[in-house]
Amino acid sequence: MPPRFLPERDRDVFRDALAMSIGIGIVGVSFGALATSAGLPWWIPVAMSFLTFAATSQFAMLAVVMAGGGVLAGLAAGVLVHLRHIPYGLAVGNLYWDKWWTRFLGTFMLIDQSTAFALAAGDDRRRAKAAYWITTSIMFVAWNVGTVVGVLAGGFIPDPNVFGLDAAFPALLLALVMPALKDRDTLLAALVGAAIAAATAPFLPTGIPVLLALVGLLATWPRRKPKEDAA
């Protein structure tokens, strides 16, 4: 049940985010278990989840370390994957750009899910801002609790893909942004970006195809320019 202090209009966001957090928690359990089975001390995955809060980047670093790469190579892989958050910040950064501490905290807690929920709110800035903070707070708790449970469970947790979460998360995020795709320019940019990402994914490191998908925005430039001139 949503907490009573939440306004009625924000409680649906809380319920949706809470439902999604179950999957995030399961992935966190898998991360903690894989990290300890790889021989890392218990405090390293716990600290990574609390100080980094970036599932894909953490898994990328862990994969490099487990494959025999050094810590620096793992950090480089994690940073490379995390670069996809740059366009996220450009899209929703105005929602937390109020005070110095909200800038720091909002940037630190920027994730796929909070971005999707905020964008799904449309032009309602108050609702988008509430959706961002509600979602990212719930996900932060779920991710860290999941990591701790995984560390305690050791190597008995299977790979997260066996739960089908690798397909479930993208499907849920797509459902959240579907309302925005009613705009023809947005739909065109999304289709071009998706095609670029799909075509380059087999050949490029994780995270790079997402950055290249931003090229899809250029597809709308010839269409938007006449509109701006007319205005």
- State how far the Cα of 213 lies from the Cα of 198, in Å rounded to an integer: 9
The overall pTM is greater than 0.75 = no
Output the pLDDT for position 175.
63
Residue 145: per-residue pLDDT:
97
Question: Within its chain, how far is the Cα of 73 from the centroid?
Answer: 22
Mean pLDDT, range 177-191, rounded to an integer = 76
CA separation, residue 152 to residues 20, 125, 159, 163, 223 (Å): 23, 41, 16, 20, 55
pLDDT tens track for 146-176 = 999 989 987 565 555 565 555 555 665 566 5
Report yes or no: 160 and 26 within 8 Å, Cβ to Cβ. yes
Cα 114 to Cα 130: distance, rounded to the nearest angstrom:
10
In this prediction, residue 230 carries a pLDDT of 46
pLDDT the model gives residue 48: 93
Q: H or E element: which one contains 100?
A: helix 100-108
Higher local confidence (pLDDT), 181 or 34: 34
What is the predicted pLDDT for the residue at 228? 46
What average pLDDT does the segment 76-81 reach? 78
Domain locations in the chain as residue ranges: 8-179, 183-231
Q: What is the pLDDT of residue 13?
A: 86
As a whole number of angstroms, the distance between CA 209 and CA 217 comes to 14
**R_g over Cα of the chain:** 19
**Mean per-residue pLDDT, 205-218:** 72
pLDDT band at 66 (very low <50, low <70, confident <90, very high): confident
Task: Quickly tell me which residue has 């909200």 as its tokens.
Answer: 102
